[in-house]
Structure 1
């Protein structure tokens, strides 16, 4: 391929990622993932930070994970420090899909407690994928500080992240179950219920937890 054709192809790809039609952006991301090229890694990451359509963002992530980790990890690790919330969230999401534990140091307490719910949720999911053996108790301690946070979806994300860590979370949950804030104690009790009975369903676990909190915790031993 001549240099002129390469330059034309690069320009078309970059224009495709910025096209006003989301279907064009989707097809462009698909093409860039089908034929990985290191020249487009930065452009894919930049687009992740501003892309408004969920399904296009997912294709952008897929395109990135099709490239070698050595090409994507450094840029993604840098992106988690972006001032733009979506940039942080999408970079964390992509790191969780790549699953390379070299990225673990980038999962900071600041990200795990980020004020933006979507960033925090992405950080929780990435953390439980990337956490090295032996670091689970320290991660649990940070995640437990977020119990009671946000609405149903945020709380469910945190419960799933904690449950993925296994039995190591029990001391933290039992401590949080006695928290004077009913949002915290209810979430902690519900998460332990789900750990022991994954089929119970989050809503059922929360309602049971609310009942236990209302009764002063006397029935926790029955869970």
Structure 2
């Protein structure tokens, strides 16, 4: 434990940083990237952790020293330097009315809340191209569906817990569906392949059916 941050060995070339929330993990990962330290190679944020792999030729002890000195408040990244992706969405999801009931908002207010804030990709997972997005408006924090669907179509936009996300391909899923987008979330020919890589900011834009 160093400065309130717990560093755990992860194999022989990495350390796992344990944090208290997704927001803390996002801030820590951003501050670590901003340092540009040679001792740090790959950085992989998750819900409440950040995995840091030692850079080429660096010892894990060097990596540990860098991680122990990370200060997210001082190392925050200017929003102007962070990519912003606009995602067009048709808001006709099967769970839109249920989300309105869960939040106490009208359907129109749910859509306004979803489009009226800047989201950020906290981490990836579940499927290639799927990003877990955190936002600024906790009114949209809703539980997953009581029963998952056996098939959610590609491009479905949903909410679950504190996150919003977009299904990159058809798959089972239990998120509350707000709408759909034609955006391509994963393209192996693109660099990077994921449209919504960790750290990217996202604005949802309502479009007509």
Category of TM-score, reference length = shorter chain: under 0.3
Between Structure 1 and Structure 2, which shows a larger proportion of strand residues?
2
Between Structure 1 and Structure 2, which shows a larger proportion of helix residues?
1
Q: Who wins on radius of gyration, i.e. which is larger?
A: 1
